[in-house]
Amino acid sequence: MNAAAVRVALPTPYGVFDVHAFELSSGHVYVAMVRGEIGDGEDVLVRLHSECLTGDALGSLRCDCGIQLRLALRNIAAEGRGVLVYATGHEGRGIGLVNKLRAYVEQDGGADTVDANVLLGLPVDSRSYVESAEVLRALGVRTIRLMTNNPLKVSGLRAAGETVNEVVPIATAPHHRNLGYLSTKARRLDHRLPTAKAVPSPGHGPVTSPVGDPSPVDAMALLGAVRPRRDRPFVVLKYAQSLDGRIATATGDSKWISGEAERQLSHALRAACDAILVGVGTVVTDDPELTVRMVPGASPMRVVLDSTLRLPCDAKVLGADAATTVLTTARSDPARRDELHARGVRVEVVPERDGQVDLRSALATLRATGTESVLVEGGSTVITALLAAGLVDRLLVAIAPVVLGTGTQAVNGLGIERVTDGVRLANRSIVPVGDDVVLGWDVCPRAVGDPRC
């Protein structure tokens, strides 16, 4: 194989990579991103990444390709030596972009990612790894530690003459929209699921698994079956509290009630949902980022309920790390709305109820624009109002081994006078997470005789 057609330094958020572009006889152009010195070429950390325009560039949540790409670059940068080969012509496991989109249509009709290709008369996977092996040899790579969840990449490179000494799984946090896709690849194509399933017993085993899985707890199982309604998304209410039921001290401090392992799980739950919602009081008091940082996953849209737009101009939720939507009322200042809009923030005016954003209208607005799942993280006013209105589908409560004795409770003023009128919960889950315990339930609809309760 000829030398690279061009070689140039490329600065990235993960550091500077030495980029080699190879023009191949097939007509494809492969790009190799090299970090550090290849040296003797032995045991080089390698990611062979199949082109995925929808995931890599457009942020599609149907797959985890974009997250894998960025995680691989980060891992190579941390290693200080490695190669990422970007394989064009591999779009859609080799069927091309247009056919991949056609396969999406079949999947929307009920087919899985394997049967969709078959229904179109296309191969399930037509990728060849010969050209990737040629690129690696041209770079001087002799033996490989391959980052992949796909055993066919391992066998394909070995068949092309490469020596794969180690397989390094790529662990990402799944989204509820790609869980079926990932599960099908594991079941039918022998891929490794990107996250661990086992829950360690209290006091045993590391917080994260030896292969670096985002969480030892199955966040998707805790999330439950996401079933959005026509008029609102699936709503998951999640908060952490002390053993005596406080989510904040009397001064309003609510940070670090739970331990690091539980916070890691919270980030995996964020990565699994379309949106994360809080009231403006939480933003003013805690100034949270509301992004996914503790696991490799996509940050959801941030939604802030703010009836009068008292959102601080320097609030972290206005940062560029994720999209932000503010739901406000007609009482808010139009000039302030325009200011937020100019900063790339979506602002929606919805009806109000009792001086606050009407929650049903707010959720309906989110659903109308495609949001299927919402993770609610606070504060107590929003938590109480959602429960009182019967707008919660799933409740997750983390219990931390700490007693505060005073402070803010998560739920106040539901107006319940009889035990039989209380919010009923079913299908309980109990999961130890580090020193904390996470409890999960489905919230029973108030309709009498609902089969879930």
| Residue for token pair 């006091």 | 203
Distance CA 97, CA 101 (A): 6
Report helix angle 380-388 to 359-368, nearest 10: 90
| Cα–Cα distance measured from residue 434 to residue 133, given in angstroms and rounded to the nearest whole number | 43
Strand order in the sheet with 6-12: 6-12, 15-23, 29-35, 82-87, 44-50, 143-147, 163-168
**Residue 64 near residue 52 (C-beta atoms within 8 A):** no
Look up 125 and say whether it is catalytic: yes
Annotated catalytic residue within 35, 47, 93, 127: 127
The pair of structure tokens assigned to 173 is 């946090």
Helix segments in 65-129, DSSP class H:
65-79, 91-94, 97-108, 113-119
- Beta strand 436-443 with 394-400: parallel, antiparallel or unpaired? antiparallel
To the query of whether residue 127 is one of the catalytic residues in this protein, the response is yes
Catalytic position from the list 43, 112, 115, 125: 125
Rounded to a whole number of angstroms, the distance between the first and last alpha carbons of the chain is 66
Single out the residue of 96, 93, 87, 44 nearest to residue 69, CA to CA: 87
Catalytic residue numbers read: 125, 127
